[in-house]
Structure 1
Amino acid sequence: MALEPGRSPGFLLWHVTLRWQREIAAVLAPLDLTHVQFVLLATTWWLNSHGQSPNQLSLAGAAGTDVKMTSQVLRRLEDKGLIQRQVDRSDTRARLLRVTERGGQLAQEAIEAVEAADRAFFGSTTDSALISTLRRLAGHDPD
């Protein structure tokens, strides 16, 4: 039996996701970043700040993005002077990713803007139950 759209979790999630993506796009536009550029820049910055120099494949895995799309977006971030790709000495086919100084500053500014947008969007619903549910649905918890 089909549920009414307003009672369908998938339908509601679709609408919530679209609304949230519009909010995030709006806060990233003044920074000249698309949402996916932000995700890849922020993930690279986070990994770099934790002593890692990811390659395209490991970055795509960490960010949850398609490898080919990741490559295209990384080229754009490199063109903007936000990341550098260096040949991996242990595998010359791979490129290690490092955020530039400018990229690191922009990543931190964008993270602050996105986190503020998240607080405004989700409000008081960022409690542990919601986070727990989202982590489980995203496959980040073993349960």
Structure 2
Amino acid sequence: MTDQRGGPQENAGFLLWRLTMAWRAQAGAALRPLGLTHTEYVLLALLSWHSRDGDSPTQRELADQGGLDQMLVSKTARALAAAGLVVAVPDPADGRTARMALTDDGRATFQHAAVTVGEAHQQFLAPLGERAGAFIRDLQQLLPATTRDPRRRARRDERTRS
């Protein structure tokens, strides 16, 4: 249990904050030469993962899955669209809803950026050595179950509306 009376180096929340800020800085530095922000990379990654399943998510679904603010996703999606990396596609079931998809340029940009971020990721976790895999599993365990699989959350939300 974390004791709030201890110093910052004994506080899990503070350590997670510092770790998050350190990762964002390292990932941002790796992405800067590619002309991408970390948020843009996260949206490209989410879209890439969705496209593997033949899925084109809405901006709301991207925001939920990425733990991002809806307005930030909207602004970032517009920037990615202006750069020709993503495109809005109409939802066949609801013409008022737009879904997002990678363009060919977006897919190529993501693949290149993924290599760069993968290298940064390895450097970031290098101090853990062989414990890096266990660390990732621990992080996954800490996420609430509903945020682990956005499709499961979407199905749950549909059931509660019905």
Q: Which TM-score applies when normalising by structure 2?
A: 0.80
Q: Which residue of 2 aligns with 1:90?
A: 93
Distance in 2 between residues matched to 1:63 and 1:7, nearest whole Å = 28
Structure 1 gaps, min length 5? none
Among candidates 13, 19, 24, match of residue 21 of structure 1:
24
Question: How many residue pairs end up in the alignment?
Answer: 140
User: Is structure 2 residue 81 aligned with structure 1 residue 75?
Assistant: no
Q: Percent identity?
A: 33
Give the superposition deviation at 1:73.
0.8
Q: Which residue of 2 aligns with 1:119?
A: 122
Please name the residue that 1:134 is paired with.
139
Q: Distance in 2 between matches of 1:2 and 1:99?
A: 48
For the residues of structure 2 that align with 1:12 and 1:53, how far apart are their CA atoms? 35
Structure 2: runs of 5+ lacking an equivalent: 149-162
TM-score calculated relative to the size of structure 1: 0.89
- Show the counterpart of 1:102: 105
1:63 and 1:20 mapped to 2: Cα distance? 16
RMSD of aligned alpha carbons: 1.5
CA drift of 1:106 comes to: 0.6
Shift >6 Å, 4+ stretches? none
Higher relative contact order (CA 8 A, sep 6+): 1
For residues 21 and 72 of structure 2, the distance between their equivalents in structure 1, rounded to whole angstroms, comes to 20
